[in-house]
Amino acid sequence: MLIFSIETSCDETASAILKFKSDSSFEVLANQISSQIKLHAKWGGIVPNLAAREHSKNILPVIKTTFKEANLKPKDIDIFGVTAGPGLIPALLIGANVTKTIAYFHQKPLIKINHIEGHIYSNFINKNNKGNLNQYNFPILNLVISGGHTQLILMKNHLKYKIIGETQDDAVGEAFDKVAKMLGFEYPGGPIISKLANEAENLIKKSQINSKFLKIKFPRPMINSDNLNFSFSGLKTSVLYFYQKLLEKKITESELILWKKFIAKAFQDAVIDVLKNKTLKTIKIHQPKTVLLSGGVSANNKILEILEKELKTKHPEIIFNSPRKSLCGDNAVMIGIAGIAHYLYSKNNPTFQINWKNLEADSGLKLKDLN
């Protein structure tokens, strides 16, 4: 069977084609992404109407290239899948309407996918572009860290999502983006903050650093709270106050660059401590057999390194995985895999929405709305 999928919830226009079998194995035949990052960078964040304009400009060329890559035609596709939410409504509408139209024209089933479950399912693909939906044991604990979400989601089975913890304010990626903006960098801020933090670590290794740079420490909000929720807005504000005070002093340009590296490291360390503690706490309570990291922020090397190390030493019995770098951010392969899971595991469910008439883009789509 062949599934064609589309993702347009934010600033990437993406489509993919996957081939799958009833034994839950699958393979990627085509994967195309057109990114708008450069366009939004100068605005300091995503501008929804600009995103929609770009999606409508890019979507047909992206679809055309996807079919060319797979050497297939739309009539060859058995099922269509599209991100229906959450995300920016003007952006979601483009992908939803284009996919609806193709599915209607070819009279084929259309599956509604939640963007977050897409991120979760990005973990099911292996290095050889193949995967199997049965490769992990349940319960699976998902730590989803993206620009819009920070959630701990427990899955007792495929498509059975229970949100057991989430941010009360900013998402992790949003905090990275805001801190980068404060320090004078463009959107998206995650990659630049992690690069600066790495540079700070390298300087520490060379031990050529004045101890004043090592004293920066930011708060770890809610780290010891008795629930599994997060908060990152206070941390971001602490960085702002620290930086504003620093600017009041007379410091040279080269010293300021150094300060920025150590601020980035101190901020990232605080984020990692919180993510690590909450994940360990969740493991203690819910005893998952598998832990999967996902979302755009999972591209952060240091977060991955620390979580991996922590789990290996404290819970060697747990399988830990994170998506390969190119699938950490938004893409349509993850939407295709989630679509396969819906097709194989919930097609007998009477509420399973498989008709284009039932599909509406919904900026606030909840995981529980799917089952």
Which residues contact ligand KG4 (rule: CB under 6 A)? 10, 146-148, 173, 176-177, 188-191, 194, 295-297, 299-300, 329-330
Q: Which residue, 191 or 234, is less far from ligand KG4 as judged by CB? A: 191
297 binds, among ligand KG4, Zn ion, none (CB under 5 to 8 A by kind): ligand KG4
194 binds, among Zn ion, ligand KG4, none (CB under 5 to 8 A by kind): ligand KG4
Q: Which residue, 142 or 146, is less far from ligand KG4 as judged by CB? A: 146
CB of 144 to ligand KG4, least distance (A): 9
CB of 122 to Zn ion, least distance (A): 9
Say whether residue 32 binds Zn ion (CB under 5 A).
no
CB of 115 to Zn ion, least distance (A): 6
CB of 250 to ligand KG4, least distance (A): 32
Query: Which residues are within 8 A (CB) of 25 and not within 5 positions of it... i.e. 6 or more apart?
Result: 130, 131, 132
Residue whose C-alpha is closest to residue 67's, from 129, 5, 131:
5
d(CA 319, CA 308): 10
Residue from 330, 337, 353, 365 in contact with Zn ion (CB under 5 A): 330
- 79-85 and 2-7 as β-strands: parallel, antiparallel, unpaired? parallel
177 binds, among ligand KG4, Zn ion, none (CB under 5 to 8 A by kind): ligand KG4
Query: Which residues are within 8 A (CB) of 332 and not within 5 positions of it... i.e. 6 or more apart?
Result: 5, 6, 7, 14, 15, 16, 31, 32, 33
d(CA 322, CA 318): 13
CB of 249 to Zn ion, least distance (A): 39
d(CA 257, CA 185): 12
176 binds, among ligand KG4, Zn ion, none (CB under 5 to 8 A by kind): ligand KG4
221 binds, among Zn ion, ligand KG4, none (CB under 5 to 8 A by kind): none
Interaction mask 139-158, Zn ion, x per CB under 5 A: -------x------------
* Alpha-helix runs per DSSP H in 222-300: 233-248, 253-286
Q: Please give the single-letter amino acid code of residue 198.
A: N
CB of 212 to ligand KG4, least distance (A): 26
Q: Which residue, 77 or 263, is less far from ligand KG4 as judged by CB? A: 263
323-359 in b/e form (b: 16+ CB < 10 A) is: beeebbbbbbbbbbbbbbbbbbbbeeeeebbbebeeb
235-269 in b/e form (b: 16+ CB < 10 A) is: bbebbeebbeeeeeeeeeeeeeebbbbbbbbbbbb
299 binds, among ligand KG4, Zn ion, none (CB under 5 to 8 A by kind): ligand KG4
d(CA 352, CA 111): 8
Query: Which residues are within 8 A (CB) of 203 and not within 5 positions of it... i.e. 6 or more apart?
Result: 209, 258, 261
CB of 249 to ligand KG4, least distance (A): 28
173 binds, among Zn ion, ligand KG4, none (CB under 5 to 8 A by kind): ligand KG4
Residues that bind Zn ion (CB under 5 A): 146, 330
